[in-house]
Structure 1
Amino acid sequence: MKLRNPHSEQDIVAAQIVGMNGKTVTVKTETGQILRLPLTAKHQHDQIFLASLKDIWHAQIWIPVNRQLKKLFHYDWLLDPAPVKA
């Protein structure tokens, strides 16, 4: 049995935010697929995070999302973010 990798390249797609409410972010992928991404309780109460999403929405910036897991990434297009050197 082969397990599916949740971070495989076909699951990571470019999307633009097309709507937001208190609990979800709605995005549209390059192929026109509409995804509703649930926000965690922490993100629902994080005013800076929500303001950032609204800025991304209004600027129509393409962001990476995991289509399979229906999640936003905490980092850009890199699969493994580079470690921060102190």
Structure 2
Amino acid sequence: MLIDDVENLEMIGSGQIKSIEFPNIILQTEANQLVKIKTTKQQQADVIFWEAIMNIKEAEIWLPFQKEVNYLLDFDWLANPQYT
């Protein structure tokens, strides 16, 4: 199931990476708001994660994030069972 099909869609935002301020990622939302995304300790230590983030920034791909806590979604654009 895709995120668009989830009832709790208002809990999820999306944005494009505008800058990387280790250990945070700054996203710009569709409403042109800047959101500081926090990273976990595991993400902070993961070289491949940061390489992927740089590639996503360069490609201007939109990323989903959980609005309440400002973390990237682990399950990307697919619906997490907790929201279904």
Q: TM-score range by the shorter chain?
A: 0.7 to 0.9
Residue equivalent to 1:49: 49
Number of residue equivalences: 75
- Please list every run of at least 4 consecutive aligned residues from structure 1 whose deviation after the TM superposition is greater than 4 angstroms: none
* Normalised TM-score (structure 1): 0.78
Q: Could you tell me the percent identity over the aligned residues?
A: 28
- Note the aligned Cα RMSD (angstroms): 1.6
Q: Does 1:78 align with 2:78?
A: yes
Gaps of 5+ in 2: 1-6
Deviations 1:6-31 (A, max 9, x none): x9211212210111122100001111
* Normalised TM-score (structure 2): 0.80
Task: Please give the alpha-carbon distance, in whole angstroms, between the structure 2 residues aligned to 1:76 and 1:37.
Answer: 15
Deviations 1:46-78 (A, max 9, x none): 000010011000100011111221010112212
Mark the structure with the bigger radius of gyration.
1
Gaps of 5+ in 1: 1-6, 82-86
The structure where helix makes up a greater share of residues is 2
